[in-house]
Structures are given as structure tokens and as C-alpha cells.
């Protein structure tokens, strides 16, 4: 029987529920070297967190995240709170010797993200591991995309085209939520969903963004206050609040290998619910992905003779792809939640092996540097803005 890994989850809204599902499910479909225990769920409201713990399968509750970090039966802290508390909680947990999984984006500012990355590097020297939750990396079709690029099947990357399209606040009467408040969320569509396409395109291509030119827009500046606090669209109550973040971000960029990038992150693409669309064009081939058809990768092989060349629709459900063989027979498909379960599998495996999991807090800091450059560019008439890097 493998040793246990006591998990303490902070936060129980949408991400808390997705992470709870992953902690519950992973040991039932993967042979894990450590057995996760859903030890404690933390939330500020005792009645609400007790109800969430019962629903999501947690053994105990706390109303102060500091108590979670003090507990000897907690080995790992999973941070699923709004971005304004990521740094305080994650750094305290790392300094207490707890492994940390932190939701994306890593933080609300570069300074916070840098402090988190520094704390993670210090903790790693003592065998304490950390990961930032860019779960879409763990969608099998994305893994195949990265593999094809790494094998040179696309050749030299020329174009990266990435969109993340949602519409949950396209209705101007949709009420305020913490995701629309800068002091809580750091930014709007840019950090919440733009962070995903920045991470994904860098992950697939193996290249980094070196500079951007950007526009941000807030289409609806005042919204009804919610009848009750919630993280996504809720029910309108009395009064109004001011939206202090972007509703949409569009930006161009250059990658380290010379490719040009075009990015769009918006919550106003009416009819698009969670459409992550990526197309990459190289000198030898192209690929295209749409999360709303997440088990499929489209691949154009430029080596194919023109008469029979065309985008191939690959259904990425064969057991030979990472993770896939642990689930269903070919063609039955995976869903949004599987990326979270795969995240738990890789994190627990890395901890057991004494390895640093990816994406690391350093990877999260790099995404934060891109987000910050986008905001600085947009504030200066879309001026070209370099992204600090090792070079």
C-alpha cells in the first residue's frame, strides 16, 4: 500500500470542485506511488465549507488557511483561491515544507510571481515540490501537438495563432464577480484565459514570447452586484459595481525562434463557451486544435504529395498516447476534468520521485511577465514591449 499524501485544499468554487474531482479520481485510474488523502478543505464560511466538504469528499474543514499549513496531516496545499491570495498562501506553505499546487495565473503581479518562484526554488532544495495549474497542457491532443513539433514534423515555426473565446459576461446584465475586480483577479480575460494560451503556445512550440504589442478593452464598465458572491456568472442583486479589468485582450508577439504570434482572449465571443483555438504553421506542416472538440488534433503534413495532401483529423484516443490508456477504449473520448486528473498524476509522481514537476512556478513567472508586458503595451498605445528573459 503506497504511502499517503495528505492534501489540504484552499477554496471550493469552480476550481476547487475540479481539483477535488481530480484528487478523488486519480488513484482509481492510475497506479500512483503515493495515495492522495482528501484531508482538509478550507473556506472562510464554516457552514458553506462544511457543506462543500461533504459534497466534494473532504474529511475535515478549516476556516483559516493558516491552520491547514500548521497541520501535520497535510503534506500538500492546493491553492484554488482568487489570485490576490496565491502568493501569501503558497509562500507560507512552501516555507512550512508543504508541497504546493497553485491555480493559474500564478499571481496578480510580476513581483508576487517572482517571490513565489524564489520561494519555490528555495523549497525545492529541501525536496519540497510546486506546480502551477495550467491543466490544458495535459489534454492528450495538446501532448501530440507538442510531440509533432519536437519531432520536427512542422519544421521551422512561422505562425502561432491562438484564441481563447468565452461569452459568459457578454450579457451586460450579468452581475459582478471577483473575476471582474482588479484587486482580486489582477486582470480580466487576459490573466484568466489569456494566460492559458500564452502557456499552451510556449509549451507546444518549446519557444518563448520575447515581445508583444497589445490592446485591452472593457466593453461593459458597470454591472449589477450579485445577489450572492460567486466566481462565474451569478444572479443579479441590488446596486451596481465597476468593472476594473479587461473584458478582452488582443495582442501580437514574436517568439524566440522568429515565429509571429497572434493572440485573442475574450469573454464577449457570443456563442463560444470555452473555445481554445490554436493553429501553428511551420515550414513543413501545420496543426490546429479547438478545445470544443478536444479529443481531436488536425495535422497537415507538408511532406505529403499535393494530390493527396490535406488536414488529417486525428482522434487522439489511442492507448499509446500519455494518460489515454488508463481511461476508455479508443474513440470514447476525455473531457475538461481529465486535464485536472492528469495534473494530479504528474504532480504526485514527481513528488514520489523527488523531481520538480512542470509547469513550475518559474514557468508561471514567465507567463506573468508576458501578461505584464501586454498590460504595459496596451497602456502605451500598443507600443512594442519587450519581455524580460534570460537572454
Nearer residue to ligand SOE within complex by CB, 178 or 300: 178
Grid cell for residue 140: 492528450
Q: Within its chain, how far is the Cα of 390 from the centroid?
A: 23
Supply the minimum distance, in Å, between the C-beta of residue 135 and ligand SOE.
7
Contact 374, 251 (CB under 8 A): yes
Question: Across the strands, what pairs with 386?
Answer: 211
Name the 3-class secondary structure at 325. Answer: helix
Nearer residue to ligand SOE within complex by CB, 166 or 201: 166
Please select the residue that binds ligand SOE; options are 78, 84, 181, 192, rule is CB under 6 A: 192
DSSP assignment letter at 88: H
Q: How far is CA 182 from CA 215, 240, 347, in A?
A: 17, 16, 30
Nearer residue to ligand SOE within complex by CB, 19 or 153: 19
Supply the minimum distance, in Å, between the C-beta of residue 192 and ligand SOE.
5
Supply the minimum distance, in Å, between the C-beta of residue 14 and ligand SOE.
5
Nearer residue to ligand SOE within complex by CB, 282 or 339: 339
Q: Where are the beta strands (DSSP E) in the chain?
A: 3-10, 34-42, 60-62, 76-79, 99-103, 130-133, 157-165, 209-217, 222-226, 236-242, 248-255, 260-266, 275-282, 285-290, 296-301, 311-315, 385-386
Supply the minimum distance, in Å, between the C-beta of residue 193 and ligand SOE.
5
Please select the residue that binds ligand SOE; options are 38, 193, 249, 344, rule is CB under 6 A: 193
Nearer residue to ligand SOE within complex by CB, 14 or 328: 14
State the number of binding residues for ligand SOE (CB under 6 A).
Answer: 5
**Helix, strand, coil content of the chain in percent (nearest 5):** 35, 25, 35
Give the pairing type, strands 99-103 and 130-133. parallel
89 sits near ligand SOE (criterion: CB under 6 A):
no
Nearest partner of 21 among 56, 67, 70, judged by Cα: 56
Residues 248-287 that bind ligand SOE (CB under 6 A): 274
Per-residue mark of binding to ligand SOE, 126-165 (x: CB under 6 A): ----------------------------------------
Residues 5-24 that bind ligand SOE (CB under 6 A): 14
Question: What is the binding site for ligand SOE (CB under 6 A)?
Answer: 14, 166, 192-193, 274
Amino acid at each position: 500500500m503506497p504511502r499517503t499524501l495528505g492534501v489540504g485544499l484552499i477554496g471550493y468554487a469552480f476550481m476547487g470542485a475540479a481539483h477535488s474531482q481530480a484528487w478523488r479520481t486519480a488513484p482509481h485510474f492510475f497506479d500512483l506511488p503515493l495515495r492522495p488523502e482528501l484531508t482538509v478543505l478550507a473556506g472562510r464560511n464554516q457552514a458553506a465549507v462544511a457543506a462543500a466538504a461533504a459534497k466534494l469528499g473532504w474529511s475535515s474543514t478549516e476556516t483559516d488557511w493558516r491552520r491547514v499549513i500548521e497541520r501535520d496531516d497535510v503534506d500538500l496545499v492546493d491553492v484554488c483561491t482568487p489570485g490576490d491570495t496565491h502568493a501569501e498562501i503558497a509562500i507560507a506553505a512552501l516555507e512550512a515544507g508543504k508541497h504546493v499546487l497553485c491555480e493559474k495565473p500564478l499571481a496578480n503581479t510580476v513581483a508576487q510571481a517572482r517571490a513565489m518562484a524564489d520561494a519555490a526554488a528555495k523549497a525545492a532544495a529541501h525536496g519540497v515540490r510546486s506546480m502551477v495549474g495550467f491543466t490544458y497542457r495535459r489534454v492528450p491532443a495538446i501532448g501530440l501537438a507538442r510531440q509533432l513539433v519536437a519531432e520536427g514534423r512542422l519544421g521551422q515555426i512561422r505562425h502561432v495563432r491562438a484564441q481563447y473565446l468565452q461569452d459568459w459576461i457578454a450579457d451586460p446584465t450579468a452581475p459582478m464577480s471577483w473575476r471582474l475586480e482588479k484587486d482580486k483577479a489582477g486582470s480580466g480575460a487576459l490573466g484568466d484565459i489569456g494566460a492559458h494560451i500564452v502557456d499552451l503556445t510556449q509549451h507546444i512550440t518549446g519557444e518563448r514570447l520575447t515581445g508583444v504589442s497589445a490592446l485591452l478593452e472593457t466593453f461593459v464598465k458597470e454591472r449589477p452586484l450579485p445577489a450572492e458572491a460567486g466566481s462565474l456568472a451569478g444572479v443579479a442583486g441590488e446596486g451596481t459595481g465597476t468593472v476594473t479589468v479587461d473584458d478582452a485582450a488582443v495582442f501580437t508577439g514574436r517568439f524566440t525562434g522568429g515565429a509571429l504570434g497572434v493572440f485573442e482572449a475574450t469573454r464577449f465571443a457570443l456563442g463560444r463557451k470555452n473555445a481554445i483555438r490554436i493553429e501553428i504553421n511551420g515550414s513543413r506542416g501545420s496543426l490546429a486544435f479547438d478545445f470544443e472538440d478536444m479529443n481531436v488534433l488536425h495535422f497537415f503534413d507538408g511532406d505529403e504529395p499535393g494530390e493527396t495532401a490535406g488536414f488529417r483529423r486525428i482522434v487522439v484516443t489511442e492507448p499509446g498516447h500519455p494518460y489515454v490508456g488508463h481511461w476508455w477504449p479508443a474513440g470514447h473520448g476525455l473531457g475538461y476534468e481529465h486535464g485536472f486528473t492528469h495534473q494530479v498524476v504528474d504532480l504526485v509522481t514527481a513528488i514520489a520521485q523527488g523531481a520538480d514537476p512542470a509547469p513550475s512556478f518559474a514557468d508561471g513567472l514567465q507567463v506573468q511577465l508576458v501578461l505584464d508586458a501586454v498590460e504595459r503595451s496596451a497602456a502605451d498605445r500598443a507600443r512594442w514591449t519587450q519581455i524580460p528573459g534570460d537572454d
